[in-house]
Amino acid sequence: MFPTSLLALLAILLQPSSAQDAPAVGDTTQSLALVFSPPFLPPEVTPQTYPNYTLPPVQPSWQPPADSYNYTLFVFPTTEDTPTSANDTSSQGLRAVNGVVQLASNATDSSLVLRDPIEGWRRQWLVGGLNASTNYTVFTVEDRSQVVTGPVYLLTKNVSFPCTLVHSLPYCPFVSYAVPIPPPSQTDPSQLGTSLTQQTYAADDLPGEYTAILLSSLGNFSITLSSFACGRDVYSPLKTCEDCYDAYRDWACAISFPRCANTDVSALPRAPLPAPALMPRTNMSRNTFPPLDQTYTELLPCIETCTMVDRSCPYFLQFGCPLPGVTAEFSYGVGFIDDAVHGRQGKGVPGAAEEYGYAWCNAGSSYDY
Ligand SMILES: *[C@@H]1O[C@H](CO)[C@@H](O)[C@H](O)[C@H]1NC(C)=O
Ligand SMILES: *[C@@H]1O[C@H](CO)[C@@H](O)[C@H](O)[C@H]1NC(C)=O
Ligand SMILES: *[C@@H]1O[C@H](CO)[C@@H](O)[C@H](O)[C@H]1NC(C)=O
Ligand SMILES: *[C@@H]1O[C@H](CO)[C@@H](O)[C@H](O)[C@H]1NC(C)=O
Ligand SMILES: *[C@@H]1O[C@H](CO)[C@@H](O)[C@H](O)[C@H]1NC(C)=O
Ligand SMILES: *[C@@H]1O[C@H](CO)[C@@H](O)[C@H](O)[C@H]1NC(C)=O
Ligand SMILES: *[C@@H]1O[C@H](CO)[C@@H](O)[C@H](O)[C@H]1NC(C)=O
Ligand SMILES: *[C@@H]1O[C@H](CO)[C@@H](O)[C@H](O)[C@H]1NC(C)=O
Ligand SMILES: *[C@@H]1O[C@H](CO)[C@@H](O)[C@H](O)[C@H]1NC(C)=O
């Protein structure tokens, strides 16, 4: 039987809400949030075939569409009076909300990102000036059609939150969350505070020593996988070598970039919802990052980041995951996405990593597990 907490989680997920084209939230700090528009214009991806099967490059370089959709973002503190459904509001209604932050497609600190080629491009905004420990509602409006999508919710962290947002890494498309790294040091004081991106890390300012091992592992994995006759020898009716590479990449990225959790009591989902997969960490250096001079709490990767590799890759790679009920709970969030019956993976109730501003584990991908 499923624990009642999981049934409660399932009940929440079965409510009509954020479908495919909803905006998405990356993560927050005490004053910043990383938010995405609904996806649009997926690039044309040619299926790979033997003998010219090419694995995705470690550093892909996608060309953004010339005529992309334009969205306007609306973020406002959630109160009893604020809209709770796209049907009940309009762009005029959103503009009139008290304390609304409104950002256009051409806003500073916005960019086009491709997290998942199947899904399409998204406009990414870095929203600043938010208040700590506050529940915010997010809607987007497509400029031409004026179609409103949302809401999704986000919760800013409290004032002593120690971690820094990392985003826009071509080699880790789903890393867009707070990571236990000290904030970038400002080298040019005259630039201080002019741009929110300077308070975060993206690919161009993330020091190379933080990512060298990850990039080397991704390259080595790709070489090993290439020894398989991809596209000729079938190892699964459902999975391809590309799926295998993507799953390994998302797992390696989730492990290399730990995600900092919100530990405020008000941020914990109220019973009967299950508690998130949290692990207190000391101020020791993790991986190749410099030590954060503070303790923090990690939101553990969902076990599915690991089992997805197991399921998507050829057997000869011998990728193994820790067993639920034995060791997995020390390093992974278990039971949030697959079912919670120990040892039974790949079946069961579809669950969620995050919803309504809560996060239960670090999914690190957009897979439909
Ligand atoms: C594979 O690539 C080679 C060199 O680019 C080309 O000559 C060959 O026709 C391609 N084969 C297939 C089946 O596409
Ligand atoms: C988005 O805005 C740009 C610049 O204003 C415009 O050229 C383009 O046609 C717009 N795209 C859509 C799909 O509305
Ligand atoms: C919004 O309206 C659409 C179309 O009328 C309907 O299918 C959908 O269920 C409504 N959503 C909500 C949350 O009321
Ligand atoms: C964005 O576009 C609008 C309308 O095209 C223009 O009025 C505004 O000045 C632009 N803002 C920025 C920051 O470029
Ligand atoms: C932050 O809180 C202050 C005081 O309550 C309020 O005036 C302001 O609008 C809030 N800002 C945002 C972005 O929510
Ligand atoms: C990748 O392979 C090279 C050559 O075999 C090896 O020196 C390096 O340590 C490997 N990288 C990792 C992260 O294992
Ligand atoms: C913020 O969260 C931390 C960690 O949970 C907690 O120790 C601290 O007391 C909180 N600070 C405030 C001002 O709420
Ligand atoms: C972090 O660890 C160093 C030694 O490794 C210690 O000197 C420092 O006080 C610690 N800081 C906190 C906030 O625990
Ligand atoms: C934020 O507010 C919404 C709407 O009231 C609520 O459904 C959601 O549970 C809240 N999220 C958090 C993390 O407090």
**CA distances (Å), 366 to each of 96, 301, 363, in order?**
33, 13, 8
Per-residue pLDDT at 48 = 92
Q: What is the pLDDT of residues 131-147, one digit of tens each?
A: 999 999 999 999 999 99
Q: Which ligand 3 atom is nearest residue 88's CA?
A: 14
Residues of the chain with pLDDT > 90, as a percent, come to: 61
Phi, psi of 315, rounded to the nearest 5 degrees: -60, -30
Per-residue pLDDT at 3 = 59
Strands (E) across the chain are located at 24-28, 33-36, 71-77, 101-103, 110-116, 120-127, 135-142, 148-155, 164-166, 177-179, 259-260, 278-281, 296-299, 354-355, 358-359
Given a cut of 50, is residue 348 above it in pLDDT? no
Q: How far is ligand 5, taken at its centre, from the CA of residue 130, in Å?
A: 7
Q: What is the pLDDT of residues 292-341, one digit of tens each?
A: 778 899 999 998 899 889 989 999 998 989 887 778 888 998 888 765 44
Omega prior to 182 cis, within 30 of 0: no
Q: Ligand 2: does its nearest atom lie under 6 Å from the Cβ of 144?
A: yes
CA angle centred on 135, ends 134 and 137, rounded to 5°: 135
Per-residue pLDDT at 144 = 96
State the pTM of this model.
Answer: 0.90
Please give the Cα distance from 286 to 292 (Å, whole number): 9
Residue with CA closest to ligand 6 atom 5 = 220
> What's CA 282's distance to the chain center, in Å?
24
Q: How far is ligand 8, taken at its centre, from the CA of residue 290, in Å?
A: 13
**CA distances (Å), 63 to each of 33, 142, 243, in order?**
25, 22, 21
Given a cut of 50, is residue 18 above it in pLDDT? no
Per-residue pLDDT at 256 = 92
For helices 241-256 and 208-226, the axis angle rounded to 10 degrees is 160
From the list 308, 321, 339, 343, the residue with the least C-alpha distance to 238 is 308
Per-residue pLDDT at 323 = 85
Q: Which of 21, 84, 87, 148 to mutate to test the pocket of ligand 3 (most atoms within 8 A of CB)?
A: 87
Per-residue pLDDT at 191 = 56
User: Which tokens go with 191?
Assistant: 């630039």
Q: How far is ligand 9, taken at its centre, from the CA of residue 28, in Å?
A: 15
Q: How far is ligand 3, taken at its centre, from the CA of residue 250, in Å?
A: 34
Q: What is the pLDDT of residues 66-108, one digit of tens each?
A: 999 999 999 999 999 999 999 999 999 999 999 999 999 999 9
> What's CA 226's distance to the chain center, in Å?
28
Q: How far is ligand 8, taken at its centre, from the CA of residue 179, in Å?
A: 18
